Amino acid sequence: MRHETGFRVTITAFFSIINYYLITYLIPTNQTPSFLLLSLIVFNIAISLGLILRIPNVRIDQIASVILWAFVFALSISYVVHMPPDGGFDILWVFQAQFAAFIAYSFYCTYFETKGLEYSALFYQSWRILLTFILALFFSLLVWCLLLLGSMLFDVLGIALFRKVVISQAMALIGGPLFFAVGVSLLANYGAILDKSRDILCGFSKALYPLLLVIGLLFFIAIPFSSKSLNEYWGGIYLVMVIHLFLFNGLYQAGLEKSPYPAFIEWPLKAFLLLLPIYMLIGMYHPVNSLFKSAILMTDLYFSILGGLLLLYAFSYALLVIFDNHEKSWIATVQPVNKVLAVVVAIVMWLMATPVLNLNHWVN
């Protein structure tokens, strides 16, 4: 434990000190850093994060892969930050680059730990990475809360030095990542608890999914009778599909080959999966139709591509139901489908965050 914590703290401190120098001395005040500097800063963050999450399993022959992953991620973030003003820069662009990087990192960790890409290993690895990241951030937040509390207590005594140290830029740029690294080290001893937390979330998905089926089916049935125009509710169709993807994929558990639901839920579930492609096409009509008007907006172009990805999921899941042979249920056949679609989503989202697929070129 001490050995691993020492590695994590040392690696994090090294890259954090470099970033402190880059941000403090090389970036003008209140200005966006240059493409090169921002790439280097994000690269330092990504490489330290990629390494500390892998200790003690990372080996010398794998470091090159982590470096390549961090390099691609850094270029993507720098590009979306420095997109031309007509591109409508939004935090959504940064999120999609991060999401693509998360998918790639999950595949990387799974491959090097299991020498394969079995769906069960990929499923559990991605959940463990996500939970570790979230809980380590929560631990960092608790540390910051205690430090701020301590600074207020010293302020009461008329000692302002503690507060100045806590709110200093050096503490934010160096101390913050160190707190996160310590949180990751603490969580490394509680792998069983992380797995149990994942199982609890999967249990929530199993309990909530039938409710989504009822809401989704009633929503879809009510659409033809609604007096509202399509541009007022197409976002609701997108939202139902996104929530469906999260809950539907949360149903999986290792060794599960049959549907976890009885027949009276199984039939509405299959009907819902069969209807999804139709309603995704309806939901896509507004943003896609807007592309053929006089001016192409970035939001319409973005949601058309996002809708295409969601439609790909909807069609794939509908085909699983259509070709269900009762010998190998859809809950089992969804595994290879999800792997392929995850790779497709990661590639498309990464291309959207690079000059390779320059969406600004299509915006009027």
Q: What is the 3-state secondary structure (H, E, C) of 313-351?
A: HHHHHHHHHHCCCCCCCHHHHHHHHHHHHHHHHHHHHHH
- Residue ranges in 29-160 assigned as alpha helix (H): 35-52, 60-81, 91-114, 119-156
Same domain, 60 and 201: no
- 225 and 166 within one domain: no
pLDDT digits (tens, 9 = 90+) for 58-73: 566 667 777 777 888 8
Q: Tell me the pTM.
A: 0.83
Tell me, what's the pLDDT at 138? Answer: 92
**296 touches 362 (CB < 8 A):** yes
Provide the pLDDT for residue 312: 93
Are 264 and 147 contained in the same domain? no
Please identify every stretch of the chain with a pLDDT value under 50, giving residue numbers as ranges.
85-87, 89
Q: Is the domain of 59 the same as that of 144?
A: yes
C-alpha to C-alpha distances, 294 to 37, 162, 277, 303, 339, nearest whole angstrom: 38, 59, 28, 18, 39
Residues 185 and 251 in one domain: no
Q: State the pLDDT at residue 344.
A: 92
Asked if residue 187 and residue 221 are part of one domain, the reply reads: no
Secondary structure of 275-318 as H, E, C letters: HHHHHHHHHHHHHHHHCCCCCCCHHHHHHHHHHHHHHHHHHHHH
Spatial separation of the C-alpha atoms in residues 95 and 340, rounded to whole Å: 21
Q: How far apart are CA 208 and CA 186, in angstroms?
A: 31
260, 147: one domain: no
User: Which residue range forms the structural domain that includes residue 295?
Assistant: 197-362
Same domain, 188 and 216: no
Given this model, what pLDDT does residue 145 score?
Answer: 92
| pLDDT of 99 | 86
Q: Among 142, 167, 192, where does a domain finish?
A: 192
Total number of domains constituting the chain? 2
- Domain boundary residue, one of 171, 192, 213: 192
One domain for residues 110 and 239: no
Whether 156 and 179 map to the same domain: the answer is yes
What is the model's pLDDT at position 51?
77
| Residue after which a domain boundary falls, among 152, 169, 192 | 192
HSE (side-chain half, CA atoms, 13 Å) at 165: 10
Q: What is the enclosing helix (H) or strand (E) of 220?
A: helix 191-222
Query: Could you tell me if 225 and 151 lie in one domain?
Result: no
Let me know how long the chain is. 364
Instruction: Tell me, yes or no, whether 77 and 175 share the same domain.
Output: yes
